[in-house]
Chains A and B, each alone.
Chain A
Amino acid sequence: MIRVQRGRGGWVSSGGKLARAVAVVSLGAMLALAGCSSKKTQGLNDGNNPNALGEGGVNGSGQGSLEQLTKGTLGQGQQGPLTDIHFAYNEYTIQPQDGSILRGNASWLQKNASSRVQVEGHCDDRGSEEYNIALGAKRAQAAKEYLVTLGIPGDRISTISYGKELPVCTEHDESCWSQNRRDHFVVNQ
């Protein structure tokens, strides 16, 4: 399960799962890769291609928040058939008023049975980066579990957290914070 990314004259990343097998083969893989590695005096440019998503990623719509960051369109409005839900500060419980939004999202997913959705968990900019990534994961998971209880198969729903890294609103006040504490739903049809 080794994946290799070879950059534009950049460094070599060898990656893999943390399975025992990797521990055994990784040294050999690294030695093999060492020969391919070209030197660079500055930076680790792995030539990341935004269309080459990692495993678990959802591709196709171009509406993922990280893709929007890469393209420079984050915060300029996000289109898609599904509606965001929002959270209270430092909370990941689905709020009662968002139940109807989730039922609407589930209804769309049932009508579009071949579609997959990635739930993105986001936070406002208060708190530490790492804690907020974990909190965003809780928020994404909460929406996934809600959709599953509404009959959407769990294997059609993936989750990812961006913590506080991808705000759609950048002022430091409650009106922005409440917009940023969100689950965003990215559909791949």
Chain B
Amino acid sequence: MKRSSTAGAILFAIVWFAMLLPVSAQPPPAAGAGPLRMTIEGPGSQLSTIAVSGLKNLGGDDDHRTSSDFVTTLRRNLDLSGYFRNIDPHAFIEDPQTSGFELGQFNFADWRSINSDFVVKGSIAQESSSIKLTAYLYDVAQQRRMMGKNYTGAPGDVRRMARRFADAVLEASTGQKGPFDSKLAFVSTRGGRFKEIYTQSIDGEDLFKLTDNPTINLFPSFDRTTNSVLYLSYKSMEPSLYLADLKAQREIKLGSPHGRVIGGTISSDGTRVVAAIERNGATNLFLLAREGGELRQLTDGNGINVSPAISPDGSMLAFTSDRSGTPQIWVMPLGGGAARRITFKGDYNTTPSYSPKGDRIVYQSRAKGRFDIWTIALAGGTPAQLTDGNGSNEYPSWSPDGRYIAFSSTRSGHSQIYIMMVSNRKIISTLTEGIGNDSCPAWSWWLGE
């Protein structure tokens, strides 16, 4: 993203499916929203520079630990966004404890002289059980405040406040909220030889081990509240779906009289599950109520129908079927109706995931013995390739803002999870500890929405 200032106009370049779709600019901002407009640039353009200053201690953060947690997490997430380059804090001239953080209480020249396009300043007031945090985003060239947020919460919430503020910085600077106040669920063998399910923040913090059984656990999916995780486990020594309620810390097992459950996904509203159920070698998809009661059989045949993905509005289902002779992606109305094949290029296309707008599918497609990630518009058109032959690239999942995908890749020699910016196909992060194999990433909706 390149940012340049003119007399009264800020040009924000965003690359938004520039390589995949016809140029589609964001709608112009409403009157009073500031002189913001969008242009489209190709990848490799210059990033905006941002300086994240320490928070002014208004009491209770005398060792600046809370400030440091906020600043470190915010910098990390802004780095991840692919829009910003953080200025090294050693270059900062101003001391946040002696200067103010409100407009007029500090000198923009201190930030302009270190070539910062934006500066984040704020304050922290902390008591034993609560913190009050204020943060502002300033445009240095225009010497104006672009955005401000107040957060209150427990001291342990400060990293989440930083992620929410990072999302707000992206919204203020590009017109679209960032995706970092969310979770990634994935499968990992990092604890040993067993595949267990973990969740963590996109910035790599807050690792949580969801399953702990010495078998195989696969296919986590969140509902939109992110309180429910559906997953497949062999922990009873045969596969079954489990719906875990993270808040209540309990789960229910979803079996079936129709056969063995070998996969599934939960709808974004959390009310329904689509399960892949195998009987006598044939695998078909069934629509279930949240707690397992069968609502409808969706596919019927002797073949393989797996990898269900429900559209964000709950109306459509994408899945993999071999009914045409090879595994291909099909879509059908979840309420019943004919299935329509949407992939025709390649002889092995699978693991579909919907974009948040529901207009595109991202999936894995085999070529030369490996898989790559592709996307295709549901309205039709040519598929667009996102990865190209660097290891086997599998199991894509879209971020809630639609800018990024998480997927697994064997490009390092073992399977790790990568986050890619869709617009320029740039890898912005690798989620790994360097041990074990990570797979099956599932990106949640925003937390608390």
Contact = CB atoms under 8 A, between A and B. Distances in A.
A110 B143 CA distance: 88
Interface in B317-334: 320, 327
Interface in A62-99: 64, 66-67, 69-70, 72, 74, 90, 92
Nearest to B208: A42
A137 B306 contact: no
Interface residues of B, number: 66
Contacts of B251: 11-13, 44
Interface string B410-449: 0000000000000000000000000000011000000000
Contacts of B348: 90, 127
Given A13-B252, A42-B209, A69-B194, A22 B394 contact: no
A57 B214 contact: no
B250 A53 contact: no
A137 B283 contact: yes
Contacts of B236: 5, 15, 48, 53-54, 57
Contact of A161 (B210, B242, B278): B278
A128 B255 contact: no
Interface residues of A, number: 66
A140 B239 CA distance: 15
A13 B239 CA distance: 14
Given A27-B291, A54-B237, A126-B369, A44 B244 contact: yes
Interface in A1-32: 3, 5, 10-20, 22-23, 26-27, 30
Chain B CB within 10 Å — which of A30, A46, A56, A130 has the most? Answer: A130
A23 B281 contact: no
B249 interface: yes
A129 B305 CA distance: 13
Main secondary structure of the interface of A (DSSP, over half): mixed
Interface of B: 193-195, 208-216, 218-219, 234-240, 242, 244, 248-258, 260, 262-263, 276, 278, 280-283, 288-289, 291-294, 304-307, 320, 327, 348, 350-351, 364, 366, 369, 392, 394-395, 439-440
Interface of A: 3, 5, 10-20, 22-23, 26-27, 30, 33-34, 37, 39-40, 42-46, 48, 50, 52-57, 64, 66-67, 69-70, 72, 74, 90, 92, 126-131, 133-135, 137-138, 140-142, 159-163, 165-166
